[in-house]
Structures are given as structure tokens and as C-alpha cells.
């Protein structure tokens, strides 16, 4: 007996996108396009009939946005996995879709290989975000902290608390010369001119 196919429903207000994605997946064994819609207002009713495993949805659509549709779908059909498919990877848009509850986010310029990987990954209960998307929704703290070593983060947080070099050295059991070396590296990486600049950097990037 053949394994059940992965049922996919696609929502996009552009007809050519719908047809293109449908054609792309039509000959793939193990996949079934169970529904297409260019009108997000009819999607809930269609999902009731088709019961897909994964919903692929555009973000920018008339009347109901991709984020609004995602919330509505997951409220009524929590078992359906939603993947956002968009031309945009701006952090604000990505975070909006993540907050709405999508299990994945890929760009329309993605390859067929990545699309299939995203569908399979999300259908298995995991999350899938392409590399460029992950860069977009990393928090400022994640991005800022990735610039520094663990020791530099420790020292930066103590500098913000107005600890002196001597106090930092004593607290961390390192020499004052080592503390000064770390401070110089931190200033360079943060592109700050002085301690005030470091404090501002730490607050703006939510390191403290």
C-alpha cells in the first residue's frame, strides 16, 4: 500500500504564482495539491473540505493579510502547519509572521529543492526558515552578542554597571591588563569611543 501523500493548500492573490507552484509540485511523488485560492476570505471554508497538512500562504494580500489568515487558520485548524511564502525578508515582516504562528518562512525566489525540504520539515512538526530569513528575525541581542566572546560580554555588562577596571579584574579573577585589552576590543567591535558609548550600545542592543 502506498504511503499517504502530503496534502498542500496554496493561497496567493497572483494567479501565475498559484499555477507555477501547482505545476512545480504536480509531478512530485508523495505530494498532493489539494486546493488553490487567490481569495483569502474563502480559505477557511475550503480548508474545512480539503484538510491539508500544510498551508502555503502569501503575505501581502487584499482584505486579509497573510498574518491575519495564519491566526485565523491556526485558531480553527491547529493541526495545519503554515508556511509563509513571500518576496520580502524584512525583519518586521518576518517577525510579524512568526508571531502569527507560522512554522516556516521561505522566499518566492527559493529553489524547488528548498521548497520540498520546507514542506517535509514542517509537516513533520519541525520549523523551517531559510538562512536569509533566520538572519532577518534574529533579535538585536542575538546579533550584537555574536560579535563578542563570552568574556567580553561579561566585561561589557560590568562596565555598564560602572565597575572600574580593578573591580572587574578582581571579580573575574583576571589581571587589570587583561581587562584593559578586553575593553579595547569591546570598544572597537561596538564602534564606541568611550564608556558612555559602550553603555548606549549595550542598552540599544539589549545586552544588559
**Domains along the chain?**
6-138 (3.40.50.2300), 141-204 (1.10.10.10)
Pairing of strands 54-57, 6-11: parallel
At 11-67, the pLDDT tens digits run 999 999 999 999 999 888 899 999 999 999 999 999 999 999 999 999 999 899 999
CA distance 98 to 96: 5
Instruction: Give percent of the chain above pLDDT 70.
Output: 90
> CA 54 to CA 122: how far, in whole Å?
8
Q: In terms of DSSP bridges, do strands 54-57 and 128-129 run parallel, antiparallel, or are they unpaired?
A: unpaired
Which pLDDT does position 57 carry in this prediction?
Answer: 97
Q: Hey, is 76 helix, strand or coil?
A: helix
Q: Tell which residue, 118, 136, 140, 135, has the closest CA to residue 127.
A: 118
Residues in the chain: 208
pLDDT digits (tens, 9 = 90+) for 142-160: 666 668 888 898 899 898 8
Q: Give the span between the Cα atoms of 186 and 155, in whole angstroms.
A: 9
More confident residue, 74 or 145: 74
Provide the pLDDT confidence category of residue 97 given band limits of 50, 70 and 90: confident
DSSP string across 177-188: HHHHHHHHHHHH
Report pLDDT for 203.
75
Q: What is the pTM of this model?
A: 0.65
Quick one: pLDDT at residue 144? Answer: 64
- CB burial class (10 A; 0-12, 13-18, 19+) of residue 145? middle
Residue 79 in this model has a pLDDT that exceeds 90: yes
What is the per-residue pLDDT for 136?
55
| Residue from 156, 129, 126 nearest 141 by CA | 156
Amino acid at each position: 500500500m502506498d504511503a499517504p501523500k502530503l496534502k498542500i493548500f496554496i493561497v496567493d492573490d497572483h494567479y501565475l504564482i498559484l499555477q507555477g507552484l501547482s505545476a512545480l509540485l504536480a509531478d512530485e511523488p508523495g505530494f498532493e495539491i489539494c486546493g488553490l485560492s487567490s481569495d483569502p476570505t474563502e480559505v477557511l471554508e475550503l480548508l474545512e473540505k480539503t484538510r491539508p497538512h500544510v498551508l502555503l500562504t502569501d503575505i501581502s494580500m487584499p482584505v486579509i493579510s497573510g498574518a491575519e489568515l495564519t491566526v485565523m487558520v491556526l485558531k480553527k485548524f491547529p493541526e495545519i502547519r503554515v508556511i509563509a511564502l513571500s518576496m520580502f525578508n524584512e525583519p518586521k515582516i518576518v517577525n510579524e509572521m512568526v508571531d502569527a504562528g507560522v512554522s516556516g518562512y521561505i522566499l518566492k525566489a527559493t529553489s524547488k529543492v528548498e521548497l520540498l525540504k520546507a514542506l517535509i520539515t514542517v509537516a513533520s512538526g519541525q520549523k523551517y526558515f531559510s538562512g536569509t530569513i533566520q538572519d532577518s528575525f534574529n533579535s538585536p541581542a542575538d546579533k550584537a552578542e555574536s560579535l563578542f566572546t563570552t568574556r567580553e560580554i561579561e566585561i561589557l555588562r560590568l562596565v555598564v554597571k560602572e565597575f572600574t577596571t580593578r573591580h572587574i579584574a578582581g571579580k573575574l579573577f583576571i589581571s587589570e591588563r587583561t581587562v584593559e585589552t578586553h575593553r579595547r576590543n569591546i570598544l572597537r567591535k561596538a564602534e564606541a569611543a568611550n564608556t558612555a558609548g559602550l553603555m548606549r550600545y549595550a542598552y540599544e542592543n539589549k545586552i544588559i
